[in-house]
Structure 1
């Protein structure tokens, strides 16, 4: 609903996610919620670095189609 409202208001929208266990369930190894919790800060730090680089110089202006 937030994206729909933002687009209605003419705002640009982006989304991203952090995958903490890319091959979960594919190796036959037992899945662990603790492992996911342990890796979340690592993924968060990587995402923060990426976003800082992307937004360092700002985004170019562009018209959003109605």
Structure 2
């Protein structure tokens, strides 16, 4: 019984440590100053994908 309690405590401590580290990491990444992409580097042409199902559907009409 003592060993299972020790394993549970150690597992809980590891879990809480990982949760706190994750929250700190998220806060640090969220704190960064994000700038939008320059408009000259944004592709203005939309990409079109036609699957086999769509081609069959078009030819049946």
Q: Which TM-score tier does this pair reach, normalised by the shorter chain? A: 0.3 to 0.5
Taking structure 1 as the reference length, the TM-score comes to 0.33
Give the structure, 1 or 2, with the largest relative contact order (CA under 8 Å, sep 6 or more). Answer: 1
Taking structure 2 as the reference length, the TM-score comes to 0.35
Larger fraction in helix: 2
